[in-house]
Structure 1
Amino acid sequence: MKLKLALAAMTALGLLASAAQAAPEKAKLMLGVGGKPLLYYLPLTIAEQKGYFKAEGLEVEINDFGGGSKSLQALIGGSVDAVTGAYEHTIRMQEKGQPITAVIELGRFPGIVLAVKNEHKGKVKTAADLKGMKIGVTAPGSSTNFFVNYLIAKAGGNYKDSAFIGVGAGAGAVAAMQKGEIDAISNLDPVISKLEMDKNVFILADSRTEAGTKAIFGGSNPAAVLYLKDEFIQKNPQTTQALVNAFHKALVWLSTAKPADVAATVPEAYYLGDKGLYMTAVKASMETYSRTGIISPDGMKSAYNMLAQFDEGLAKAKIDLNKTFNDKFVKAVKK
């Protein structure tokens, strides 16, 4: 009898220890993002609005920056703990000796669109024809900027011959085009759908669908991910797991959600003043979200090839793509 009681006590202590071990090491977090209302980052808003972070024992404060490059800077500078941003940054930072790692894929296609002001329709046939023009991007050095750089280089031009202007990711980006402050824009939905609806632009390149992404990159091209400093992951594995769990729940929810479900979940400010437009944009972007949360080796190579197309330093650097993504947290998610 005493032996049974002792075993029971040991079992109970073991369960308590496991529970304590599973608790996030750092429950209060600052998460950076560059343009939260964009559909590129929809899994973040879903995780927030559905209470998935809280369900994982996390208190997440979200700091929304003007573009992905700014949220990256905040992570490197230490003012945020994690970032929902473009996978490409994990490659570029490895070259600079500042290792950051993605732990879950949120977007399997970039969803970025290069659109040109209608008045240039006869002049601009390829991205190389943007020479001398002003191109709006969410922020210089962001994934929207890289997207245009790649397209220009692929078409035989030089991105340095164009001027890149940060216009943000919302109404300001729409206004910049409508006011004639820029000649072209590399942005995402709902910004692009708004400009299309108002007949302000024509589309030059569209990565919102699998077909469009393959036409541009020749295959898949990972987009938004959750990335953190390697040091943070090593010190806070349970916190990292909790974040991945929350984002995975968001991806599962999105896999069956309808545009109306999404519109009912996000803040009304995301609509850009038109709920119907927003739902149209959601429908156009639903293909972009990851189905597994895991970046394929081909996807990693595609992202590297895109950057190497216009970045000579990166093309010459020795990059270990296996260090840019850690899939163990996604694989540990309880399905």
Structure 2
Amino acid sequence: MQIRQYPNCLLWLAVLISGLVLGVDDAWAQAGPPYKLKLPGVISYELNLPSLVAYANGYFTEEGIELTDFVVGSGGTLRTAMIAREFDVGLFGFVHVPLARIAGSPWKMVLSTHDLEIFSLVVRSELKDKVKTVADLRGMKVGFSTPGAASWYMGSVFLKKAGLDPEKDVQYVSLGGDPGVIYTSLKTGRVDAFSAWEPTTTRAIEEGVAYPVVPIWEPDEHRRWVGPKALALGLVTREDVIKDRPDLVRRMVNAHKKGLAFIRSKSSAEITEVVLKNPKTAEQFKGLDRALVVKIFDRIKAGFGDGCLSRSGFEAEMKLALEYKLVKRAVSFEEFGDTSFAGECP
């Protein structure tokens, strides 16, 4: 009798467990995923391509995150919003972390989205016979996004390294972070040069609007201006978020690591197909044809790593920021980043 009843007991136990699991799944479905948030960042494919891929491929959903929107704007404006706790995580360039910490908001980078500096100095094509080097920009109008943003930071580095004072020797002009405005400003001569990132760099060069005097994507130029590597861009949060909601940070990092792995393993054409096919991510590529997007990805693909934080890359960026007085004081690598999520690069 006991032998015959034993399978029935197992059957009832299996039914009970299945009911409990289904109950948890139903509760999750009714309540929604554990985390629901918006992700702020500049339209910069070096900065946000891992996020766009993660969204298009469903990696955020896999990690229990409902990403409701990509909030785009200039870096300085978004930094102010995150300091004010309008956002708990965001995509930012290197300089924003020390600036926020010095301002009293304890930011930390938890994952690197790009391991090379991204800003090239491009000059409008009408000046090709006149401007051969950065120093030739004396007296001209040089554009950047907003004060305190990464474009301002690297533009200042280029000018100061060439012996030019951004406040005295050029007209240093803020244009905001809209790629369309930046492109038009170069095309119409509102500015003579710009500290540019993608999509502006490749679009302006391919369409004959501008040419580079600092092509930062070339390894020799990167070494000359920055060094071999740079902890240029990343996923950033605050210390209070890490303390109170480490699970959120872990899930965000995991989703981005999946995005980075996809980028490294696929061709630029395959990546383009993914981000243009999804209606939400395709919004950030309006006005760009598929062939141009592939060229952009070809240019920036070498900078995508596995998300680890590089101490040497940090030191290269911090040295520049201090040497050219772009931050008031140094922050340490341990203050700057938390390596417990994505790891420290070997």
* TM-score bin, normalised by smaller chain: 0.7 to 0.9
Q: Which residue pairs with 1:68 in the alignment?
A: 75
Structure 2 counterpart of 1:35, one-letter code: I
Tell me if 1:292 matches 2:306.
yes
Within-5 A mapping of 1:75-90: 75-90=82-97
Structure 1 counterpart of 2:48, one-letter code: Y
Tell me if 1:92 matches 2:99.
yes
2:142 partner SS: strand
Query: TM-score when scaled to structure 2?
Result: 0.82
Query: In 2, distance between residues paired with 1:204 and 1:231?
Result: 42
Q: Which digits, 9 at most, give the CA deviation of each residue in 1:197-241, with x for residues without a partner?
A: 121212011222444321211331112200011111111001100
Query: In 1, distance between residues paired with 2:287 and 2:64?
Result: 33
Tell me if 1:196 matches 2:211.
no
* Total equivalences in the alignment: 309
Gaps of 5+ in 2: 1-23, 276-281
Displacement of 1:82: 0.8
From 116, 122, 128, the counterpart of 1:115 = 122
Judge which range, 241-250 or 175-184, deviates more. 175-184
Please tell me whether the aligned partners of residues 115 and 205 of structure 1 are also in contact (alpha carbons under 8 angstroms): yes
Displacement of 1:86: 0.7
Query: In 2, distance between residues paired with 1:223 and 1:323?
Result: 16
Displacement of 1:284: 0.9
Query: In 1, distance between residues paired with 2:176 and 2:327?
Result: 27
Gaps of 5+ in 1: 1-15
2:213 partner SS: strand
Tell me if 1:30 matches 2:44.
no
Query: In 2, distance between residues paired with 1:159 and 1:71?
Result: 23
Judge which range, 244-253 or 130-139, deviates more. 130-139
Judge which range, 236-245 or 277-286, deviates more. 277-286
Q: Which residue pairs with 1:7 in the alignment?
A: none
Judge which range, 108-117 or 85-94, deviates more. 85-94
Query: In 1, distance between residues paired with 2:334 and 2:227?
Result: 21
- Alpha carbons of structure 1 residues 77 and 84: separation in structure 2 relative to 1, 3 Å: same
Displacement of 1:126: 3.1
- Alpha carbons of structure 1 residues 49 and 206: separation in structure 2 relative to 1, 3 Å: same
Query: In 1, distance between residues paired with 2:208 and 2:131?
Result: 17
1:60 partner SS: strand
Structure 2 counterpart of 1:321, one-letter code: F
Displacement of 1:125: 3.4
Query: In 2, distance between residues paired with 1:158 and 1:205?
Result: 17
1:330 partner SS: coil
- Alpha carbons of structure 1 residues 308 and 25: separation in structure 2 relative to 1, 3 Å: farther
Tell me if 1:152 matches 2:167.
no
2:110 partner SS: strand
Q: Which residue pairs with 2:12 in the alignment?
A: none
Query: In 1, distance between residues paired with 2:326 and 2:301?
Result: 34
Q: Which digits, 9 at most, give the CA deviation of each residue in 1:117-163, with x for residues without a partner?
A: 12223333332333332223233321111111011111111111332
Query: In 1, distance between residues paired with 2:196 and 2:178?
Result: 7
Structure 1 counterpart of 2:321, one-letter code: L
Please tell me whether the aligned partners of residues 106 and 224 of structure 1 are also in contact (alpha carbons under 8 angstroms): yes
Tell me if 1:141 matches 2:148.
yes
From 172, 193, 206, the counterpart of 2:181 = 172
Tell me if 1:102 matches 2:109.
yes
Judge which range, 304-313 or 195-204, deviates more. 304-313
Please tell me whether the aligned partners of residues 139 and 166 of structure 1 are also in contact (alpha carbons under 8 angstroms): yes
Q: Which residue pairs with 2:225 in the alignment?
A: 216
2:109 partner SS: strand
Q: Which digits, 9 at most, give the CA deviation of each residue in 1:8-28, with x for residues without a partner?
A: xxxxxxxx9xxx9xxx99611
Structure 1 counterpart of 2:42, one-letter code: G
Larger-Rg structure:
2
Judge which range, 227-236 or 186-195, deviates more. 186-195
Query: In 1, distance between residues paired with 2:197 and 2:134?
Result: 17
Structure 1 counterpart of 2:39, one-letter code: L
- Alpha carbons of structure 1 residues 91 and 25: separation in structure 2 relative to 1, 3 Å: farther
Percent sequence identity is 21
Displacement of 1:304: 0.6
Judge which range, 54-63 or 246-255, deviates more. 54-63
Query: TM-score when scaled to structure 1?
Result: 0.85
Q: Which residue pairs with 1:280 in the alignment?
A: 295
Tell me if 1:259 matches 2:268.
yes
